[in-house]
Every structure is written in structure tokens, then in C-alpha cells.
A and B are shown apart, each in its own frame.
Chain A
Amino acid sequence: MKKYIYQLVILSGLALAAGSCSKAKLNPSSSTGLSDASVFQTKGRIANQVNGLYAAVRSGQFMGGRVPIYNDIRGENFINETGNGVTGLLIWNFTVGGGDTYINNTWNAAYLCINQCNLFLDGMEATGNKVVGDDLAKKYNAEAKFVRALAYYNLLQLYATPYTKDNGASPGLPLRLKGIKGSGFSNLARSTVAEVYNQIISDLNDAESGLPADYGDDATNVVHAHVNTAIALKTRVYLSMGNYDNVITEASKIVPAAAPFKAPSGVANALVSDLGTVFTSYMTAESIFSLPYTGAAEAPAGQSQLGSYYLPPKDYSSQGSGEYSLNAATGVITDANWKATDVRRNYIFTDTKGKKWWTKFSSPSPYLDWVPILRYSEVMLSLAEARTRKANAVDAQAVALLNAVRQRSDATTTFAPASATELINDILQERNIEFLGEGLRSIDIIRLQQTFPAKGAAVAVAPTSQNYMFPAPSSETAVNTLW
């Protein structure tokens, strides 16, 4: 009998062992993906998340390709060549509908980026700030706010009524400031355009105070935001709001009253003498902020690369898809005052059939051109415009700034405008030339409530038209009942 008791004890022990649950196995962690709970656990992961925020804004559907492209092809300087709805035909001719895949893709990519910023800010507040310490926390939070501001600003330029139409009183965007994981958050009414701009300014002010003045290396100074980056973006934001006083205030922080035009503090951003280096070596003093594509592993997504849209399909040293040629009939290249001696005209390539193509972004497939987002020359011209509009007279500093930009590329031209209007027109035309292909054209048209000119088979679109801005994307309206 004793034997059996032993056996019973052994078996019961085994049964108990079998019955005891393994807590570790019941709460497994993936060894191939970092869980949301773990990404704030180490300094390294938090730093990588910051890189991830920039990578998110660099999405080919967003700032890394399609948004700059859309902002250019909405303007008058390009002609659609392929008739392909996938590569912006309906955006070029202003017939895009709310169900269009591509305007939905851009919307979704922008908010994916915004949500990632929000999740990052939430996570930093909860645990991350302690992990990295005060100094890094301040910097990282500032970077997240910069990226969020950049994303919201660019969404406004495509999907919302321009601020200048009614001082931002129109419905703008769903303003999401808290990170979202899981379901149940679809419904959110739009904030007004003004409210969204206020948030952008607030984020950029925070960024300015939290960002480092200088990272100490050229690459990081171009691909991460620093103090001057936040200031430069603010000048663009205030310009879109028509708030010229603040443009002057912000721009003056980095643009001195007289030549040489070089930021007096922080990264020594400046007007470089050789414009070409901006688009070939990328890491220049002029490049306040660019989105990098470094190596094949980072190659931009197909049908979202600047080069593939604008480069000709043949004849040229780098082949593109030839999606858009230059508008040789009514585009900015017809400007007689833009002289043949201007080095910027070197970017125009004429193929064997006489068609003209824009080759500013000229690296071959897989098109690793960096996407310029903020350049020093833009801040100079924004300052010039704001000073002129504020003075409503020919402002000497404004003229100097304009001439500095022009003469960098064309030493033979000196502007001497007779009136404020003439000066403003000269500045706007200079912007049109200087930033051709860099995604500023539509932004300039809508802030001034101008009509999009007709081009090729596409008709003109007035600010009063329904299709002046993108329609509401269906991926939002189909689900967000409070839209």
C-alpha cells in the first residue's frame, strides 16, 4: 500500500506541475517585431523612433514624393504626358474625386505620420523622458512637434480652404493630438483652419525652444530639424496665413539685414554660391531641411519619385517615366526676363522632338534625389515679400534679398522695381523660377487666392471653384461620422 501512496504522490506532483501555468508563455513577446510597450524602454529605440518620424514624413505618398509633385503639377508649369490616373492626371487637371486612391493615400500617409508623432509624444511623457534624460527629451519632443507641424501644414495646403480666404474660419482638419492605437477613434469633427494653424505655430514655437542650435555635422543638420529649421518653417506658415509681421519677425532671426546672407546663429545656413550643389551634394548650408534617400535600401516607392515624374523617358542621361514635361506655352520657362544665361535654365532639357523636361532631380533610377523641403533662399524671398507688403513700398532690403537670389544664378540681372507691386511680382516670379519642381507653386497660388492658370488640356480653376482644393477623402468621410 505504501508503494501506491508514493506513486500517488508522484503522480499528483506531476499533475500539479502540469497544471501550473507558465506566465511567460501566456504573455509572449514577438522576437521579430518591437512591441509598442518596448519602444520606449531604451535610449536607442527612442532615438530610432525619432528617425522613424522623419521616415514617416518622407513617405512617397507624402512629403517624400507625391505632395511636392502635386503642389507643382497643380500649377501652370507642367504638362501631363502619360494620361495616367496613377501618376496625378486627375490632380493635374483638377478632376480628382473624393474616392480617388491617391488623394486618400496621401491623406492616410500624412495622418499615419501625425499619429506616430502623437504616439511618440504620449510615450515620451509616460516613460521615455525619464529613459533619455532631460536634454535628449527636450530635443526629441521638439523634433516630434516639428514633424507634426510640417505634416499638418502640408495637409492644409491640399485639403482645406486657404487661411487667407476667410482668416481660417472654414472647417479645416480633424486635429488629432493624442496617439491612437486600436479602434473606436474614427469620429472627430474638423477643427477650423485657424485652429489647426494655431496648433502648428504652437508646435513650431515649442520646437524652436527645444531643438538644438546645431548638430555639429552637415548631414544631421539637413535631415533633422534644428532651431533654424523651425524658424524657416514658421516663415512659410505665417506667409500662408498672410501674417507678414510674423514672417518678418521669424525670417529676421536667420536672415541678416545685409549681405552676406547667412544665419547669424545656430547652423550657419546661407545662400550658397553654387546652386547646383544643393541638388547634387544635398548637404549644403542652403539646405535647411531635406528628406534624404540614401542608398538603394531607402529607395523611394515606385511612382512617387521626383525624378521619375519629371525626367524624360529617353534621350537624357537619366531616364524617367516622362510623366510631366515643362509647359513651353504658358509656363514660367516662357518668361523672357529669365535669361538664357541663368544657370537655372540649365535644368531644362530639350529632347529630339523639341519637348522640354525639367532635370533638377537627375539621379537615375531608383531616383535617390533628396527632396528639398526648406531652403535658405525661400526664407530670403519670404522676408522680401513680407517687408514689401508691410511697407507697401519698394523696400531696399527686399530688393537686396531678391537680387541676391537672382544674381546667384544670373549675375547679369539686377532688379530695380519702380513700385511695391512690381517688386512683389518680381519676388513671386523669382519664387516660381527658384523653386520649380520643389513643391511650392500651388502653395503660393492658394495663399494669394489666385486662379490656377489653364495649361494644355486643363482649364483654369478659380478660388471660388469647388475643385480649387482637394475634395474630402472618402477614407475619412465614409467612416468619420462627425466630418
Chain B
Amino acid sequence: MRKHLTLLAVLVLSSVLAFAQTKLITGRVTDQQGQPVPFSTIRVKGTKKGVSADADGNYSIRASIGETLIVSGAGIELKEATVGAGSVDITVARKNASLTEVVVVGYGVQKKSDVIGNIASVKGAAIADNPVQSFDAALGGKAAGVQITSANGVVNNPPVFRIRGTNSISLSSYPLIVIDGVPTFTGDVSMSDAAANPLASINPADIESLDVLKDAAATAIYGSRAANGVVIITTKRGKRGKTKVTYSGWVGQTKATRLWKTLNADQYMMIKNEGVANKPGATAKFLPTNGPDGKEINTDWKDLVYRTGISHSHALTVSGGNEATTYFISAGYTKQNGIVVKNSFERKNFRFSIDHKVSNVFSLGAQAGYSNEINLAATSTGSLPGQAYSTGGLGRIALILPPNIAARNNDGTYNTNGAAIGPMNNVNPGISYYNPLVLIENNHTSTENNHIQANAYLQLKPIPDVTLKTVYGVDYLLSDNDFFSTPLNGDGYPGGEAINSNLTYKRWIWTSTGQYDHIFADKHTVGLLVGTEQQYTTQLGYGIDRTNVTDPFFTNGQGGFADNVPATVSGNTNGLRTENYLVSGFGRLNYDFDKRYFVSGSFRRDGYSAFAPGHKYGNFWSASVAYDIAKESFFTNSGIGKVINTLRLRGSYGTTGNISGIGDFDSYSFYGTGLYNSNPALNFTNSGNSNLTWETSKKTDIGLQFSLLNDVISGDVAWYRNNIDGLIIKVTQAGSTGIPGLQIPTNIGTMYNKGFEVTLNARPVTSKNFRWTTSLNVTYNKNMVTSLAPGLNNILYTTSGLEQTSITMPGYSIGTLYLYPTQGVDPATGHRIFLNGAGEQIEYGHETASWTYVKSGAAASKINPAKDKRPLFNVIPKYYGGFENTFRYGSFDLGILATYEFGFYVYNGTQASIRDNRFWNSSVDVLRRWTHAGQITDIPKIVYGDNISNGSANPISENAQKGDFIKLRNVSLGYALPAKMLGRIGINNARVYVSGQNLLVITKYKGPDPETSTNGNDTQGQGVDRNSVANGRVFTVGLNVGF
């Protein structure tokens, strides 16, 4: 034993002696731009000694002065450096970025240089600090082909999300969103008046990358769900190295911008009484009322509805790992108050992931994200789809309630008149709208989502070229809705109503893939993917709708109410219970020769439960080629080859499908239950289409990628065309067929989208102290409906069930504005001039509610929708995109993002509302009304009760306006605190910033914001702005810290 100890001592001593000749060298590996290069390998030349740099490029190694260090790693050129007296910082050259960047593709990753499909990648960091509820809202302008329309200022309302145009008429046109391999739920899942975008469960700060798959080559592997494009979200995972802790947080405020200017009380009474004087027989009178202070009441209802919302967000992450195990843990909290009083979003989220390498062959991992989101609103904002004409919709009543009345009587009680607000001293105004103060103070409506997204995988690499992987994931979304409407006023008057309902979405998915990669004879690269997948989704919803509260004390559905019925869930009066199942096999083969000639093909076979036997399975495929000319020796050797680093032509063609929005049992026929003399009866209630199947998109994409001057300038140009066949149209059947409802969804319509995308990136300045990068993307898209169904000339779209604003018909783009053409105001009479179907000018005089020819004054027929309305204006922007500039000077950074859309119209229905000549308040526009013969103006004579001349009762072309805009969407200015100072308090890096969103919009549109959608994501009802609240302007101050 002693002998052994002696030997050990000798060994230790000798090793100490040996090491005494070397010293600990520390340093940092950075690239030419001074950015850290993580995880490079540093070896001492001529020895076997080697270490890895950490995530920030820091390393330490024992070496002697004079020895040479060799730095190597993925994406960097080999670099040697000699060990000197001090620390050894090493600057390495990055390899051509496009050659080394990795891109997430369907069921895998590929080197960016090997990808043929059209994929736009957005780094998570680019959106992490955006004060948005969900990441999709931050994607606007970030990638060519992606169009994000923020519908309004209601928090957590899903934006309108389109990739390369609108690709369906009856189904959804929202892309497939895949989060860490699990397709998730999209759209507003709320059944209350608060919006609830389920994508808000992902904290944007937890996202590593967002990859937008656009063409068939990229999307066909997702088969029947890919027609609208696919967005793959990859969340952050741990990296080898020291434990890294980060905190990021911001606090901000949001405020409504560009609100309409409305009349004050005096102006209101002047205008309305003028209207009464102009209308024979009108009995209304508009008279002032004094408030408690003895002064005339002058209420701006907007002050009651809008506010400055304070928001804040905090996220903490811990990550790290060793050779075998890496982990990532994050926790986040945010509370975001919207511009509308009591409208807020609150999220608590937790996420972890762990990856463990058991051996060189076997590895496994798991991740889970849980979030709790509370979406709150006092009452209807009137801004979500279907709410535009809500009698209590705050967006509208903020504008149209008379300014000469108050929310409270002088004794402090609420000013009410039954369900409506009281008229005070006004005589016979017939006010039917609610008192917003009562609703705001007494109603509440909320949707609370508990969302769990988790998956686990096993991976085996039995031989170096083969990877076998199986992943099981779940996505459970539990949504609780709570709704209370006070008996005091509004919808709940006089009994009060409470609705509680639950909606549960559950999905599991099991994906198994095998990937084989091999390079034969140095030049033939082959990649083969095969896989299977099953996805099973259930939806369960039920609730109770209680009316007639027994005591005003009760304000929720568990309190005392007299009457109960089941709550209607997604149109089902007894609740909802449904399921669907998708089973698939897929594969992809990539081949390239010498990285010059690329060929790829993908295939997917999907079986979907919603379709009838015999129609369940469908095949989707793509084929693509690319040619890297810049790799040819004739090119590199030529003069142009010195200027152009990359020049690649690519093309793809393939098919994908759309099933998003097909009912789970739409292909089946059902009998419903009823009673006949108290005995059960079965009746034929639903005739399915047993031939129903997906809509099919045939996508062509031809593109050119290039980079010049050592990548100082790079870009991508693509031309695309998507022909959609078998669009589902509800085809009307003859009455005598006896089909319930007489309509059957049928795959029959056709439509196309075509266009081009240009992306240009440049780094005009890259000096050590100053860097400027700029990126511009432009998308041109043309949408055209080419056929509907035999005998079906058009499909009319009704906004919120009341106003036919839009038409879909062959030869026009989807949802074209369908309006009565108007031609100003007749200077002789002050009447609105309409153009009838025969092309004759007729005018409307509300004094006698009569129609006359402008020329002759003879009586004319009144306007008739079938004869006189016309498809007039395109609502889908022809051009859209973003322009982003980043400047870095020393420790300062400045980012500016502008987005723009051109070539479309918006139907400004709100303008119609606030030019209505009933008791409604008006915009200050009406002050330039027609008052005397010969006066030339755009506002007709005020005649009390007139809701026709201004388009309030019938959509007129006067209210359609060009929507073209350029918007300063995001500006952020940051400062990185000095590392020395931070080092003393144990902080690695810290950055403070200020940022602003939606700072400026340049547009001729007269409403608050041309970026709007009263009908939400509906495919046929875009470009309508009817009584919605506007988007807010946000300022934030934030901090990012790394420990």
C-alpha cells in the first residue's frame, strides 16, 4: 500500500513539474465583425491537447509561449495563432455564411447551401423583445411572401397571416404552425369577448428560429395541410458549456393613435338640429344638459373607452450542459394592458428541454412548455369577427354616442333608459345604444388558456450515416370562458346573463423518421428521409348559459340564476365533441453532384379521418432542381466570378393540400333527434358529401439566389404560381332534392395566386466601430378566382351578418369590395349621387325619402343590390414587404423596421357610421356639409335620420379608400453596457434599449389605420374596417442581461 502511495506522489509531482513549463492561456474567438464564435475547437499544434470554446467564444488552455494554437469549427476557416505573453484573442474568418448556415426543413435540418426549397428564416432574436402577445404578430415585414395584418388593437387577437396570398375561399388560409415538431392550434379559440390566440402560449423570447416554408419543394412533405405554407418554430435548447443565465424584460405603454375626431356637444347639437330642421315631420330635438358642475355636458366617449395601457414582460432562462447532457429552462411572466379599458393579456410560462447522449449511438431528450394565459375584457370591443354591429361594441359607441349626454346622472347614478343609455334633455333621439360605463364597470368576459406542449424523443445512430428517431408529442389546450352581462344595462338587461364554457383541444402526434446521409466518391451527396406519422386530435366543449339572476350579487355562472340552457359551443347547441386523425407516410430524397447540381424529391401519403371511405387517402409530392453556377470552374475563373460569389438557379413543382376548416364529419350524413308526441324521433338533418376531399394546391417556384462582393450584397428572387383546384364551395341543390339546408360542400372551385418575391441584403459598412446592415423585401402577389360552381356566379360576403361588403366571383380577386358606385354630392341639391346599374346618375333626398334622376329630376327606382352594386375594388395588397436597417456603433445599436403595403383598397365602414344622420355623433368631416345651392363639397346635406346618403345602411364607393401605407413598425435603440464594469458585478453582458412600435404611418387612408380587418382572418371579408378599435402605438424600455 505504502509503495503505491509513493508511486502516486511521484506521479503527481512529476505531472506538476511537467505542467510548470506551460501556463494557462485564456482568450476569445471572434469573427471579423467581432462577434463571438461559439464552441470552436482550440488545439495546441503538434499535441493532442484540445478544448472547446464556450457559447461566447471564451476558452482556456494550457500551452507554452511560442506554441501554436489551431482554431477550427463548423462554419469557420482554420486559423493559427501563436501563444504570447498575454491572453490570446483569435479572430477567425467565417466561411461563406450561406454555405454554413443551417435551415430547419420539414422533419430535419439542412445546410442552407443544400436547400432547394424556398424557405425564409427569421432568427428568434429578431422578434424576442417585441411587445406582442404572440410571435406571429411580430413577423410582419420580416420575410418575403409573408403578410401579417394586425387586425386591431384588441390584445391577443390573432393577426391575419398569409403566405403568398389567400389560398382558400371556404377553408382557412392560415399557415400550418409546427412548434418543435408538433402542429399546434391556430385561430381565435375564445368563446368570450376577449380574443385568445393560442400561439401566445409561446414566449417569443424562447424561440430560436422561425422558418417559413413557402414553395412545394419545402412544404409538400407536410402534404394535406401545407397549402397555406408552413411555419416551423424551433424553441431554444441548451448548449454545451458553462451554465448561462439570462434575464430579459421590458416595460412599456400603449396608446391609441390617429383616432377619429368627433364633434363636441355644441357642434353635435348644431348639426343634429340642422338635420331635424331639414327633415319634415322630424320630432327629435337636441338640447344641452348641465352636468353636476353646472356646465353643459360635453363628453368625449373615447376618453371612457381608450386608455394608456401599461405592459411589462420578464423572462429568465438558464441553460448549459456538458458533453453528454444539455438543458434549457425558462420562465416568463407578462402582463399587457391594451388600449381599450380593461382589455388585457397575462401569461405565465415555463419551458424546459433536456438532451442527453447516452452513447455515441443512443441519445434521447424531452421538452415541455406550459403556459397559463388570461385574456380579459370588460365587454365587447366590437372589433372581433362578427361583432362590428354589436349594440355595445366599444369601438363604435366610443364614436357615435351623443357628446351632450353623460354616463352618469347628476346624482351619480348610471344614466340608463332600459337597456340603452338615457337621452337626458334630448327629445326623441331614439338612442338604442348602451351606456359603456355600465358595461365597463359591471360586465366581464375572459378566456383563460392552459396550454401544454411537450414531446420526447429517442434517437439512434447505429452507423455514422444513419439516424433513426422517434418523437412523441402532445399539445393540450384547455380553454375556460367566463362571461357576465349585467342586468343593469346592455345585452343582459333586465335579467342578467352568465355563460361559462370549457373548450378542450387535445392532440398527440407520433413521428418516426430514418435519415441516411452519405457522400459517395467525394462528389455524390445523397440524403434520404423516410418517416411515418400519426396525429390524433379531439375537441370537447360544453357549458351553461344562465339567465335571470336571482340577486344582483351574483356575477358568474355558478351563482344564482333562474334559467339554464346549455351554452352553444362552436354553433352546437348541446356542446361539441369531435375528433380527427391523420396517418401518414413520407419520404424525401436529396442528391447533389459536387454541390453544383441538386435534385430533390419529396412524397407524402396522408389518410384523413374526415373523409369518407374510398376518399381518405391522398398523395402529395414535389420535385425540385437547383444549379449552382458560381461553383463551376468556368465561372469562378472568369472575371465575373470574382464579383459574384453565389449564383444559383432553382425550380420546384409539387402539390399540397388544405384541410384546415373542414368539419370532422363533413363527409358523413347525420340524423338528429327530436320529439313527436313526446316520443323520440330521428330526422335527417345533415347531408354530407361522401366525395369530399382536400383542396389541392399546385405550386411552381422558380428562383435565383445570388451574392456579390464577398457577400456584401446578397439576395433572392423568386417567381411563383399556385393553382388551387377543388376549392370547397357550398353548392346549392334544388329544393326538391330534400337535402337538409340544400347546400353541400363540394370540391369544385378554382383560383390562383401568382407573383414574385425579391429579397436584398447588404452590409454597406462593416468597419470595426461601425456596422450597417440593410435588408429589403418586396412581394408582388396577384390573386384571381377563376371558377366557382356551375350556375353559381358569385358568393356574397356579409360583414358581421349585416352588410354585404364583398363579393367573390370569377375574374376578380377574392373578396372584392361590392359597393354602390357614388359620384359625390349634387351641388344643386346637396344630395348624394349614385350611379345605377344602367349607368344613370340618380340621387337620394332623405327629406322625402325619394330617388330622382340627377338630370331630369324625374322619379327614379331606388337602389337595388342585384342591379346596382358592382365589384369595384381589390382588397388584397399587390405589393407588400419590409425594409430593415441595423446600425451598430461602438456599444450602440439601432434597428429600424418599416413595413409597407400597396395596391389595395379598404372599405372604411366606420366613416359611414360617423356620417350617419340619426342621433349618432359624427366626425368633424360633417362640418363641411352642403348647406347652400352651388356649394361643392363631399358631405351631403344633413337631413335627420338619413342613413343612406352616407353609406351607413348600404355600402357606397365613397367610403372605399386606398389603403396604401408605409409604417414605421419598429425602432429600437440599444446600448451594451461596458463589459469591464459588468464583470465586477458578475454579469457577462447587458444591454438596455428603448423601442417604439407603430410610430408613424404614411397613408392617405382616413381611418386610424389601413392595416385592419374587421372580419379577422376570414378569406372573403378582408379590407373591411367597420367600427373596430385601432392599433395602438407602443413604447418600451428594456433590459437584456447575461450572467
Residues of B within 8 A of A27 (CB): 609, 613
**Cβ-defined contact, B736 with A173, below 8 A:** yes
Say yes or no: A33-B665 contact (C-beta < 8 A), given A21-B607, A26-B583, A116-B738.
Answer: yes
Interface string of B702-746 (1 = CB under 8 A from A): 000000000000000000000000000001111111111010101
Q: Which of B608, B683, B689, B735 sits near A55, CB closer than 8 Å? A: B683
Residues of A within 8 A of B536 (CB): 22, 25
CA distance A422 to B915 in the complex (A): 70
Residues of B within 8 A of A180 (CB): 687, 737-739
A295 at the interface (CB under 8 A from B): yes
A51 at the interface (CB under 8 A from B): yes
B577 at the interface (CB under 8 A from A): yes
In the complex formed, the residue of B with least CB distance to A293 is B677
Residues of B within 8 A of A181 (CB): 669, 687-688, 690, 739
Q: How many residues of A contact B (CB 8 A)?
A: 67
In the complex formed, the residue of A with least CB distance to B745 is A183
Interface string of A23-44 (1 = CB under 8 A from B): 0011110111111100100000
Residues of A within 8 A of B579 (CB): 25, 28
CA distance A53 to B517 in the complex (A): 65
**Cβ-defined contact, A36 with B676, below 8 A:** no
8 Å CB interface, A288-329 against B: 292, 294-295, 297-298
A112 at the interface (CB under 8 A from B): yes
8 Å CB interface, B351-403 against A: 361-362
**Cβ-defined contact, A15 with B470, below 8 A:** yes
Residues of B within 8 A of A111 (CB): 735-738
A252 at the interface (CB under 8 A from B): no
8 Å CB interface, A152-180 against B: 173-174, 176, 180
8 Å CB interface, A261-299 against B: 292, 294-295, 297-298
B664 at the interface (CB under 8 A from A): yes
B678 at the interface (CB under 8 A from A): yes
Interface string of A89-132 (1 = CB under 8 A from B): 00000000000000010011001111110110000000000000
Residues of B within 8 A of A475 (CB): 732, 734-735, 742
B671 at the interface (CB under 8 A from A): yes
**Cβ-defined contact, A115 with B735, below 8 A:** no
Residues of B within 8 A of A45 (CB): 682
Say yes or no: A116-B684 contact (C-beta < 8 A), given A22-B534, A26-B616, A186-B733.
Answer: yes
A233 at the interface (CB under 8 A from B): no
Interface string of B321-346 (1 = CB under 8 A from A): 00000000000000000000000000
Residues of A within 8 A of B689 (CB): 182-183
Say yes or no: A7-B734 contact (C-beta < 8 A), given A36-B671, A55-B676.
Answer: no
Residues of B within 8 A of A478 (CB): 732, 791
CA distance A418 to B922 in the complex (A): 79
8 Å CB interface, A38-66 against B: 39, 45, 48-49, 51-52, 54-56, 58
CA distance A117 to B683 in the complex (A): 10
Chain B nearest Cβ from A261, distance in angstroms: 27
**Cβ-defined contact, A185 with B735, below 8 A:** no
Residues of A within 8 A of B731 (CB): 183
In the complex formed, the residue of B with least CB distance to A15 is B512
CA distance A419 to B935 in the complex (A): 82
B686 at the interface (CB under 8 A from A): yes
**Cβ-defined contact, A7 with B362, below 8 A:** yes
Q: Which of B514, B671, B680 sits near A33, CB closer than 8 Å? A: B671
Residues of B within 8 A of A298 (CB): 675-678
8 Å CB interface, B492-540 against A: 510-512, 514, 532-534, 536
**Cβ-defined contact, A22 with B734, below 8 A:** no
A396 at the interface (CB under 8 A from B): no
**Cβ-defined contact, B742 with A113, below 8 A:** no
B587 at the interface (CB under 8 A from A): no
Residues of A within 8 A of B490 (CB): none
Q: Which of B458, B581, B735, B739 sits near A11, CB closer than 8 Å? A: B458
CA distance A58 to B680 in the complex (A): 14
**Cβ-defined contact, B460 with A11, below 8 A:** yes
CA distance A223 to B742 in the complex (A): 29
Interface centre among B468, B673, B679, B746 (most CB of A within 10 A): B679
In the complex formed, the residue of B with least CB distance to A59 is B683
**Cβ-defined contact, A48 with B682, below 8 A:** yes
Say yes or no: A14-B609 contact (C-beta < 8 A), given A180-B739, A186-B734, A475-B734.
Answer: no
**Cβ-defined contact, A11 with B468, below 8 A:** yes
Chain A nearest Cβ from B332, distance in angstroms: 33
Say yes or no: A186-B670 contact (C-beta < 8 A), given A18-B534, A45-B682, A55-B676.
Answer: no
Interface string of A175-202 (1 = CB under 8 A from B): 0100011110111100000000000000
CA distance A295 to B677 in the complex (A): 8
Q: Which of B462, B682, B683 sits near A8, CB closer than 8 Å? A: B462
B766 at the interface (CB under 8 A from A): no
**Cβ-defined contact, A18 with B511, below 8 A:** yes
CA distance A108 to B737 in the complex (A): 8
A212 at the interface (CB under 8 A from B): no
Residues of B within 8 A of A35 (CB): 668-671
CA distance A119 to B578 in the complex (A): 26
B556 at the interface (CB under 8 A from A): no
**Cβ-defined contact, B677 with A11, below 8 A:** no
In the complex formed, the residue of B with least CB distance to A475 is B735
Residues of B within 8 A of A19 (CB): 512, 532, 534, 585
Q: Which of B572, B676, B683 sits near A116, CB closer than 8 Å? A: B683
Residues of A within 8 A of B769 (CB): none
**Cβ-defined contact, B583 with A30, below 8 A:** no
Residues of A within 8 A of B678 (CB): 294-295, 298
A476 at the interface (CB under 8 A from B): yes
Residues of A within 8 A of B681 (CB): 48-49, 51-52, 54-55
Chain B nearest Cβ from A120, distance in angstroms: 9
CA distance A113 to B736 in the complex (A): 10
In the complex formed, the residue of A with least CB distance to B683 is A52
Chain B nearest Cβ from A461, distance in angstroms: 24
**Cβ-defined contact, B735 with A25, below 8 A:** no
Residues of A within 8 A of B686 (CB): 33
CA distance A186 to B737 in the complex (A): 6
In the complex formed, the residue of A with least CB distance to B470 is A14
B691 at the interface (CB under 8 A from A): yes
Residues of A within 8 A of B679 (CB): 48, 51
Residues of B within 8 A of A107 (CB): 735-736
8 Å CB interface, B434-458 against A: 458
Interface centre among B514, B572, B675, B684 (most CB of A within 10 A): B684
B674 at the interface (CB under 8 A from A): yes
A416 at the interface (CB under 8 A from B): no
CA distance A33 to B577 in the complex (A): 10
In the complex formed, the residue of B with least CB distance to A56 is B683
CA distance A297 to B746 in the complex (A): 35
CA distance A112 to B736 in the complex (A): 8
Chain A nearest Cβ from B659, distance in angstroms: 14
CA distance A119 to B682 in the complex (A): 12
Residues of B within 8 A of A39 (CB): 671, 682
CA distance A476 to B512 in the complex (A): 53
14 contacts between A and B (CB under 8 A): A7-B361, A11-B458, A11-B460, A18-B532, A21-B583, A32-B575, A33-B672, A33-B686, A49-B681, A54-B681, A55-B681, A55-B683, A182-B687, A223-B676
Taking Cβ atoms with an 8 Å cutoff, the residues of B that contact A are 361-362, 458, 460, 462, 468, 470, 510-512, 514, 532-534, 536, 572, 574-581, 583, 585, 607-609, 613, 616, 664-665, 668-691, 731-740, 742, 744, 746, 791
Taking Cβ atoms with an 8 Å cutoff, the residues of A that contact B are 4, 7-8, 11-12, 14-15, 18-19, 21-22, 25-28, 30-36, 39, 45, 48-49, 51-52, 54-56, 58, 104, 107-108, 111-116, 118-119, 173-174, 176, 180-183, 185-188, 219, 223, 292, 294-295, 297-298, 473, 475-476, 478-480
* Given A111-B736, A116-B684, A295-B675, 7 further pairs, Cβ under 8 A: A15-B532, A19-B512, A19-B534, A33-B670, A35-B668, A112-B739, A188-B734
Which 4 pairs between the two chains have the least Cβ-Cβ distance? A115-B738, A19-B532, A186-B734, A51-B681
